[in-house]
Chains A and B, each alone.
Chain A
């Protein structure tokens, strides 16, 4: 019957396509003796991940005997869960996320800093500037509803503002000079200026609120392969220093193959922003260096999160981080 003749090929085609699109398990062996490591990032490939791509492009991982696969994320990237259940060996995220997760019982731990300061910021038009978080008083702000810094602003600093849910574009911002919107200082200001707006960005991190941006892993992987973790952290920090201080072309070229909508101007701007704000290297005057985690700062962060009520239960610094892999400055 004609029906069998049309439906059956459809069935076979579907099966064939499915077979070809099987999920990657990430366990394929690389060249002999290279250890396979999957690293989960939190967004689409971008210069804010540049250090890792530099380490990959310039062979720093390979030199340590690691075959690293950088897994792109996206709007719904579940970095914490991916690492916790073993879909990736390591991941990167905001340090606060790790502290909150550990308090909730998720078996993960920080192993090194990616950035000394998180690049989250607030975008404003220069006609209505913000100097610090207290300037948000009475304003309408578009920000990510779950962000920890909002709780800090509300509860610790006592700032009152109207919150709008964050959307992925600047349409409203461009139209309203009094509008302020959460952004990444490495990202949105570039596009706003490209469209002719005069803008500035306030870095949210300050003396009262200083989250790290960290590399982390599951406690299981840490216990079973501390040597791999050490190598990964070492090579990654080397990649970051080289990306921001040396010639970023290898990483940028690699990024361009992952996404063809990153312009050279944009990538240059991101790198400059990361340097200007000293995001990765930190402030040498305070003794900070790339990759560093300090117990003092983490303790302060834990106390702050406890105070504003985002931790399910108290945690100790030793629960959330290990310092054995911090490279020498």
Chain B
């Protein structure tokens, strides 16, 4: 059986700003459909920059990058980006925020209202759809952001430390909800995080990056089957994976000081 075409393909990609120092050096990565890839590493290793490259928000300097078989900008209509903060427009209700991508596409008002309500139900926020962002908790805002991202059924989801500002319990809940959504929505994900256990819980591949310049240091395959349950976190083999990744992280963090 032929392997399916990669969703994202980096080929020896380098990036620098202007004539400055190298931000990313020799990035090679092929993401297969259905992969959930976490990028983890010390500050300044360029993990967020990778997401910006894939979304076309930032250009590469050298080397190849293909997203969904074409250039990043061309592939935007099949991607969605979830930012570090929920980036909800404060003057719109939750529902109107979710409607936004549909509105920008020109969908009629009644149609997009129905679709937005459907997405909000999917994340369990049907009751607050007429609330304004400042009336919502951090976790709820992030769920709205996810609902908005999934409205157009993207093939590729880019997430930049979306749960970093939340408390551990909410964060764990949202991890589980995200995986549940993936079961029905079938997207490929590139996920940036600082949390090792989050990376291991969510992903089938964890890429550890090093800084100065940013580059891939090691990859850890996480073979636990999907769908994954909360009880997974308590298992010893899960802990073992977490330790494995942590050790790799320590390696790169020690080097940074040199």
Contacts and interface: CB of A to CB of B under 8 A. Distances in A.
Within the complex, are A and B direct neighbours (CB within 8 Å)?
yes
B74 to A, nearest CB: 31
A234 B71 CA distance: 88
3 contacts: A1-B91, A2-B91, A3-B91
Interface in A1-41: 1-3
Classify the interface of chain B: helix, strand, loop or mixed. Answer: loop
Nearest to A3: B91
A1 B91 CA distance: 9
A90 B91 CA distance: 59
Contacts of B91: 1-3
Nearest to A2: B91
A3 B91 CA distance: 10
A2 B89 CA distance: 14
List 3 A-B pairs, minimum CB-CB distance, nearest first: A1-B91, A3-B91, A2-B91
A320 B91 CA distance: 69
A134 B91 CA distance: 75
Interface in B76-117: 91
Contacts of A1: 91
A4 to B, nearest CB: 11
Interface in A234-278: none
A113 B252 CA distance: 101
Interface string B22-47: 00000000000000000000000000
Contacts of A2: 91
A2 B96 CA distance: 13
Nearest to A1: B91
Contacts of A3: 91
A154 B91 CA distance: 70
A7 to B, nearest CB: 13
B46 to A, nearest CB: 38
A311 B187 CA distance: 89
A5 to B, nearest CB: 13
A220 B91 CA distance: 62
A1 B103 CA distance: 13
A1 B97 CA distance: 12
A7 B91 CA distance: 15
Interface in B52-93: 91
B89 to A, nearest CB: 10
A283 to B, nearest CB: 79
A239 to B, nearest CB: 65
B130 to A, nearest CB: 14
A2 B91 CA distance: 9
A282 B136 CA distance: 87
Nearest to B92: A1
A299 B91 CA distance: 76
A3 B89 CA distance: 14
A180 B91 CA distance: 65
Interface in B177-223: none
Nearest to B96: A1
Interface in A174-194: none
A148 B19 CA distance: 72
Interface string A206-235: 000000000000000000000000000000
B91 to A, nearest CB: 7
A2 B92 CA distance: 10
B104 to A, nearest CB: 14
A123 B91 CA distance: 66
A91 B91 CA distance: 58
A1 B93 CA distance: 11
A312 to B, nearest CB: 63
A1 B132 CA distance: 14
A326 to B, nearest CB: 74
